[in-house]
């Protein structure tokens, strides 16, 4: 039976501020899509039927108590760019960026991921939130820093912020080559401890702890990371790596949302 309001997960660091902010990390359960997109595919850039993606996104909004027309979602490009917004975007007007920031209550910020790290941040005392899509390129390039800086421009204070890293590749699932390791270590030498040796020149990278490390170095006061692994939980989450291994032509996208309450 299809549920009208799909389930989602929360992180303790933000859950204690439910009087000020609502957030949720959604997986693939509770939607209307079929095939490789079954069922809560929220990716308009996928090959899924547009009307099904729209319905899935509507369900995410309703599950968090938001109006579907108040969903602000970017065109993600694995960048380090953050955009401040006070409104939702028309489909053909979505900004190319990987983080959104707002002070507007009732505006739901939504980002997509299918192995990359979705991150939500709130400063409940100053009324500022951010939603971030952090693949390793964006994380290394500074998308987390860009989001926190944009929050600061709106009055946010890192010492008052709480952050959560959602379902993404766990270290044991994120096998990488020397190019990625070199890029990470050139940018952040402190991350050497986040690699474990694999076969030949391969290593396993801890993206979750890397994101937490960058948040901590910005002075963010409270943070958590969910333990869910998108690769090894195919019934619960869409995973690009899992779809490639399975020989699928495409995969769905998991949505993460955060909204200030009025």
Locate the domains of the chain by residue range. Answer: 9-70+78-169+220-260
Cα–Cα dist 14/123, whole Å = 9
At residue 34, the pLDDT reads: 98
At residue 92, the pLDDT reads: 87
DSSP string, 8-65: EE--HHHHTTTTTEEEEEE-S-S----GGGTTT---TTSSS-HHHHHHHHHHHHHHTT
CATH class (in words) of the domain with range 9-70+78-169+220-260: alpha beta
Average pLDDT on 181-207 reads 98
**2 CB-near residues (< 8 Å, 6+ apart):** 30, 31, 32, 39
Residue indicated by tokens 């209550």: 105
The CA distances from residue 77 to 185, 196, 225, in Å, are: 22, 28, 23
Average pLDDT on 38-48 reads 97
Confidence check: pLDDT of 237 > 60: yes
């Amino acid at each position: 039976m299809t549920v009208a309001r799909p389930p989602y997960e929360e992180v303790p660091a933000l859950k204690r501020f439910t009087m000020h902010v609502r957030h949720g990390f959604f997986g693939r359960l509770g939607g209307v899509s079929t095939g490789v997109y079954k069922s809560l595919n929220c990716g308009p850039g996928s090959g899924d039927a547009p009307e099904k993606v729209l319905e899935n996104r509507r369900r995410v909004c309703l599950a968090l108590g938001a109006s579907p027309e108040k969903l602000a979602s970017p065109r993600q490009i694995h960048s380090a760019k953050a955009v401040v917004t006070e409104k939702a975007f028309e489909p053909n007007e979505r900004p190319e960026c990987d983080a959104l920031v707002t002070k507007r209550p009732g505006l739901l910020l939504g980002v997509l991921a299918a192995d990359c790290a979705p991150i939500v941040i709130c400063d409940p005392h100053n009324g500022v939130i951010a939603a971030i899509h952090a693949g390793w390129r964006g994380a290394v390039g500074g998308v987390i820093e860009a989001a926190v800086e944009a929050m600061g421009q709106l009055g946010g204070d890192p010492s008052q912020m709480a952050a959560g890293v959602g379902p993404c590749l766990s270290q044991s699932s994120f096998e990488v080559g020397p190019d990625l390791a070199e890029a990470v270590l050139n940018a952040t030498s402190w991350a050497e401890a986040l690699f474990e040796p694999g076969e030949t020149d391969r290593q396993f990278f801890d993206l979750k702890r890397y994101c937490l490390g960058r948040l901590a170095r910005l002075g963010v006061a409270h943070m958590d990371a969910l333990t869910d692994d998108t690769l090894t939980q195919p019934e619960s989450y869409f995973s690009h790596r899992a779809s490639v291994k399975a020989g699928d032509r495409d995969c769905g996208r998991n949505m993460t949302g955060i909204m200030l309450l009025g």
